[in-house]
Every structure is written in C-alpha cells, then in structure tokens.
Structure 1
Amino acid sequence: MDLKMLGWNDHWEQQWSICDRKDTIPARIVGDFGQKYRVITEQNGDTWAEMSGKLQHELDSRSSFPSIGDWVAVQPLAGEDRVIIQGVLDRKTCISRQAAGFVTHEQIIAANVDTLFLVCALNDDFNVRRIERYLIMAWNSGVNPVILLSKADLCSNIDEKLGLLQESAMGVPVHVVCAIENQGFEDVDKYLTTGSTVALTGSSGCGKSTIINWLFGAVLQRTQEVREGDSRGRHTTTHRELFLLPQGAVMIDTPGMRELKLWEDEGGLSLTFADIEELRRSCKFTDCRHEQELGCAVLQAVSNGEIEEKRLLNYHKTLRELKFQAKKEAKSNSKQTKRGTKTHGTRLKGQALVKQLND
C-alpha cells in the first residue's frame, strides 16, 4: 500500500530522513490492542506488531508508547507475519486525557490527527457542558475541532439545542447529521480530503460507529441501541482502530467515554471560554476571580444575560480541575526526580502550569 494514502507526506518524509532508522521501514499504527498493534507498511501491508524490549526500556512513560495514528519505525522479521517496533516518530498532534483512577497518568486517545469530530447525540444525552470539555481537549491537542450533532431524527427541538450550543462553540463548525436519513453527509464529507486524518470522539452511544459505517458505505463497526431509560450508550467500540475511507481520508474510531478528565491545559481553556477571557480584561481588579467582586465585568455580563450562568460555573469548575491536575503532576514529577528515575522526554511542566492557571 502507498503510505501517502495513510497520510504520509513531506513532513514525515523529512522527519524520517534525519533519523537513524537502520534496517527499519516506516509504518502507521492502525489498531491499538494494548500490548499488540496492527500496522500497515508499504512492503508488508497490514500486519501485527509489538515493541522491542529496548524501546520499552527507553520510553519513560506510558504516554510515550506507540498509539493509534502514530508513525513508527518497524523491523520486518523474515518468514514471520509480524514486525518489531523500534522507534516512534515525533507526534504532530496528540489527543489525550487524564486516565481513570487516582494515579496521575496521561492516556493517549489518538495521535497525528488533523480534524477531531466531537460527536454529541441530539437525544436526552445532549449536554452543552460536556461539549465544552471536549472542546478544551481538542484545542489542547492542536487539532481542528468540528461538532457533529448526531441522531437528528430523535430530536424535535434542534433549533433550541443549536441555540444553547452557539455560545459555547464560537468559531467551531457545527453540523447536524442523521445517518438513517442521510442528513448532513455533504457537510461531513468535505473534511475527508485525501491524506487527512480524522478522529471521532464522544460519549458512549453517541453514534460514532454508525457515522463511520455511514461514511464508508458499509458496516465496519458494530452498533448497539442506547438504554431507553436515560439515553446513555453501551460500549460497542472496545479498542482504537483506523479505517481508510473511500473519500481518501483515514478515520480513527475510539471507545466511548463515560467521563472526560482533562489532562492539562495548553490554551484550550482560554479558547473554549474566549468570551469570559476577553471580558476579564475589563474587570476592575486584575486578580478578579469572577465570583463576588465589585466591578467584575464577567459577573455583569451574567447579570445582563450576555453569558449563561451555567457556562461561568463550568468555567470555574474546569479551572479548579486543571489547577488540581497541574499540582498533582508537579508533585508526581518531583517524587520521580527525588527517586532518581528518568525524566528525559517527560512532561515536566506541572509547576509552569500551576503558575499559568493562577495568572
């Protein structure tokens, strides 16, 4: 297979040319099954892969391990239907979140994505505040977010929900789609350009797998009905997988999320809440927290109905979460340094993040 069909371009060619990749060939990870991977190479096509012991030893964090969408250097094995991953090319973009549980750990959702479809169903599971969190994750990753409001056939007040979303998605394309009625196909199709990488994310049951089947024109992913009681979905996609669409783009499907814990802030908070960030410049006090202070331009905007109160509350909640996460990361990195563990290549930015979020 020509790797250009999978997104290989001058950027990756240049990166490959300056690396010492003796006895290896480039490949892209198209399936992430934990310890095992599916990759595609130009010479071997679709095949199984696993990391070399040396690479596992060199990589200093789980988030540095190969993930879906990564470009890797692999070593073919003579007479075997598998290859060994010897290196990972630097990521162009990286979508991640804080992994579930109490341990500070970054979980990679997808790498080297150009456009991220944030899928939200237009049923009882529609949630503007959740979409705001997904937008922060998207902006932090460096990808272009696009909101897809799915299952339009189940909604009788689409305009009302679009109105609720308008304030939170300023500057972000929003498309209403329905695979059953073939609604919005042309709106989505324009993002699927040859060589581009598009990923889908959203809560369980929002319709990601259905959208992939719809765009491909055949059943690639299994689907399940949502629960009738609360419109919440059941997990259908259990691993991350990359598909080549007829339009020429590659699409990454990811398992549905029960909750989204943000990993860190790379400016996503300011972009998602740009209206609040802009108004804070007009506050009487430079250290205004937008809670009870006199002369607060943000609180005045809420009082005037210019900003929804729930949006401001979500801003405060998210800011607290990011500060807490940054402190945890800084504390974790400090412990690792004291113990003499490797820190090369890790994200030792906790202290800087705490300062940034407090400014």
Structure 2
Amino acid sequence: MNLNENEQMQAFGWNEHWKTRFLADEYKEMIPARVIAQFANQYRVITQHGECMAAVSGKFQFEAIRRSDFPGVGDWTAVQPLAGEKRVVIQAVLPRTTVMLRKAAGSIPEEQVIGANIDTLLIVNALNEDFNIRKIERYLIVAWESGAVPVVLLTKADLCDDVAVKIAAVEAAAPGVFVHAVSALQDMGRDALSPYLQPGCTVALTGSSGVGKSTLLNWLAGGDLQRVQGIREDDARGRHTTTHRELFPLPGGAVMMDTPGMRELQLWDAEEGRQEAFADIEAVAAACRFRDCRHEAEDGCAVKQAIADGTLDPRRFASYRKTGRELEYMNRKEQTVSKRLKKSAEKRLGTNSDRRKYSQMDE
C-alpha cells in the first residue's frame, strides 16, 4: 500500500503526520480510515479502497469508558476490512490533535464529540435578528477548549446596514479572534477565508440553525453539497437542514465539516476555554486586591471598577459569571454520577468474583 499516492485519502486530509502516527503504532493487518459521516452507531469512512460503512468492534465497545471514546466525525481510525464485504470494523481511534466537545442531551452528564482533528473552527452567526454576541461567546469557549483556532464568520452581510459596527462589537467580545463578514448571495468575502482553506486543512462550521452553514458550504464548494431551507421571517430562526455531521472535500484541497444547528450549546469541562474566551476579564481580575475576589462587593475589586468606569461591558461580565456557574454545576454533577458508576462497577466486580469463588468450590 502506497499511502502517499492515495488521492482519495489525501482529499480528506491524509498527510505525513497521520501516516507516521499510524505506522508508529503498528496496527497489524489494519488500514487507516477517516470517519467522514456518522449516523447513530454507524459510520461512513474513507479508506484507500474508497468509501464504505463501518461499525466499532465488540472489543472496542467493551473497553470504551466514556461516550467520547467512540469515534467522531474527523477521527482517523485503524480498521479491519471484512473479506468480500463493502464494510470495515473500527478497532482503534488514533490520538486526536483537537476535539470539540459539548454536553450530550439528557440528564446524565456525559460529553459528546462534535468533531475531531479540526484545524479551524468557523463560528457562524447571521447578521439578522438572530445576531447574538452572548451566543458567540459560548461557542468561543468550546472552540478554545477544543484546541482548534476559532474564527467568527458573520453571514448574510447583505441583510445588514451596519456591518462595520457589528464586526467591531464581536471583536470587542472576542479578543485576538479574526472576524469576517460574508454574503454567499452576493459572493462577498470569499478571499478573506482563503488562509483557512489551505490544502489538507480541516475546517468545521458550527452555529445555530438558520445562520447559513449549509449555504456557506455550497458557496465555497461551488455546488449543492447540502440541502438548504428557509428561515421563519418573524424571528429569523431556521429549521435543521443538516441532520448529521459530515466531511466534504473542497476544490482548493481543504476539508470542511458541516454540523447540525444547535438550539443551545451546553458547555462541558471547558474552564480553560472559558479563561481564554474571557481573557480580558481574567486580566482585569488579576489586579483585584484579594486573590479570591468574587467581584461582588469586595474592596479593591478591579472588575467592579472597570464596569464602573466603562472599560468593561457589564453584559459581558454577566456572561462570564453565568458560564462559570454552569461549568461549576456540571463539574459537581459529573463527580456525583462518576462516584455512583464507580460503586456500581465495584459491586458488579464483587458479585462476579463471588460467583467464580463459589463455582471453584463446587468443583
């Protein structure tokens, strides 16, 4: 197998880094494959033989501890081909360079993989009635935590009369993050995205329904890769067009991941990402008189002073505190559930041990 000459694999981001990683781990009798789409517990992958369906092995399921241990779109995996079938079995997931997580739906706190091995995360927000800086801040937390480079993309610029003002507002809420306004309808802003769409790079689109992610993908791809739907005119909210995560090769050599719109992005284990997203507030807080300052009524609070003199937006500080409380709550809930699961596992192991002991006595 000559991996360097495999154009199908290269179109989905296969390069020397992944080749070296795969060969170094010596996955005997296996071949590399990238997960390019996910449908519940089934995956579509790309191998040197082309696209095929895949499922994880029984051993993989048994050894997986967390939901995030399972493959996600963008993961590179080691698969075992099935003789005479157009299917493969996933035996292992190669170590990820980046991973975007959120809290999975449901009452049990567990993480869900949104995408893996993403180089640039395009946070998409529309310049219409759905424009929301606080929502952008939440996506920035997840982006910084993932390890990918965040970029804010303001779509539907043709519907906005004060684009420059909106860009300035986002830049103030996203220190150090590039912000671009684009319009697929008017073919505006394409050149600004070129640096992120280099050959071999994986770029992901994320944002709420109706912000124009699928339209953006079709525009950059030069064809109708994803079906698009209109939005409700009264509140600018869209219906879910994309129903699953999927990778698409772009003409210039980059790979783009489209994801379903999220009504609400629930944070998961992202304190470092929060600190990065609110780096300006963290810097101000470092000047507080007391190291454990809660920024409420303490003397010498630099944060309260910054709000009073107008250098810190109180709405941004409220968002900072809200996400902090959310992460603290999730951490406590996760610890409680983890202890319960640990006791349950120990009980099961004890029961199995007793069964083996009595079985040996009977013999």
TM-score w.r.t. the length of structure 1 is: 0.92
Letter in 2 for 1:147: V
Deviates more, 1:136-145 or 1:86-95: 86-95
Q: Which residue of 2 aligns with 1:206?
A: 211
Give secondary structure in 1 for the equivalent of 2:88. Answer: strand
Residue 286 of structure 1 and its aligned partner are, at CA, apart by: 1.4
Does residue 225 of the first structure (1) align with residue 230 of the second (2)?
A: yes
* Structure 1: segments with no counterpart, 5+ residues: 343-359
Q: Which residue of 2 aligns with 1:346?
A: none
SS in 2 for 1:267: helix
Counterpart AA for 2:332: K
Which of 25, 30, 41 is residue 19 of structure 1 equivalent to? 25
**2:169 is matched with which residue: 164, 177, 189?**
164
Matched, 1:37 2:43: yes
Which secondary structure state, in structure 1, belongs to the residue aligned with residue 142 of structure 2? helix
State the alpha-carbon separation in 1 of the partners of residues 182 and 215 from structure 2: 11
The question of 1:95 aligning with 2:100 is answered yes
**What's the C-alpha RMSD, in Å, of the aligned pairs?**
1.4
Q: Which AA in structure 2 matches 1:263?
A: W
1:173 counterpart = 2:178: yes
Matched residue, 1:290: 295
Q: Distance in 1 between matches of 2:46 and 2:79?
A: 10
Q: Letter of the aligned partner of 2:218 in structure 1?
A: N
Q: Find the partner of 2:328 among 312, 317, 323.
A: 323
Aligned amino acid, residue 75 of structure 1: Q
Please state which structure has a larger fraction of its residues in helix.
2
Amino acid at match of 1:210: T
Distance 1:30 1:248 in 2: 15
> 1:297, 1:341 → 2: CA distance?
49
After superposition, give the CA deviation of every residue in 1:263-285 in whole Å (9 maximum; x if it has no partner): 01251111111111011111121
Distance 1:185 1:158 in 2: 16
Is the CA contact 2:249–2:255 (under 8 Å) kept in the aligned structure 1? Answer: yes
User: In 2, distance between residues paired with 1:228 and 1:11?
Assistant: 47
Deviates more, 1:16-25 or 1:32-41: 16-25
**Residue of structure 2 equivalent to 1:251:** 256
Is residue 2:34 matched to residue 1:28? yes
Number of the residue aligned with 2:14: 8
1:145 alignment counterpart = 150
Hey, what's the Cα distance between the residues in 2 that align with 1:85 and 1:341?
29
Opposite residue 257 of structure 2, the aligned amino acid is: I
1:101 alignment partner AA: G
State the identity %.
53
The partner residue of 1:123 within 121, 124, 128 is: 128
Q: Which residue matches 2:353?
A: none
Q: Which runs of 4+ in 1 moved over 6 A?
A: none
| Structure 2 residues without counterparts, runs of 5 or longer | 1-5, 348-363
- Please name the residue that 1:352 is paired with: none
Name the structure 1 match of 2:187. Answer: 182
Corresponding position of 2:285: 280
- Return the alpha-carbon distance in structure 1 between the equivalents of residues 297 and 240 of structure 2: 43
> Could you say which residue in structure 2 is the equivalent of 1:310?
315
Residue in structure 1 matching 2:57, options 30, 52, 57? 52
Q: Distance in 1 between matches of 2:254 and 2:167?
A: 28
Helix, strand or coil: the match of 2:173? Answer: coil
CA contact (8 A) 2:38 2:245 kept: yes
Indicate conservation of the 8 Å contact 2:32/2:77, yes or no.
Answer: yes
| Counterpart-to-counterpart distance in 1, 2:247 and 2:168 | 33
Residues 170 and 179 in structure 2, CA contact (< 8 A), matched pair in contact too: no
TM-score of the two chains, using structure 2 as the length reference: 0.91
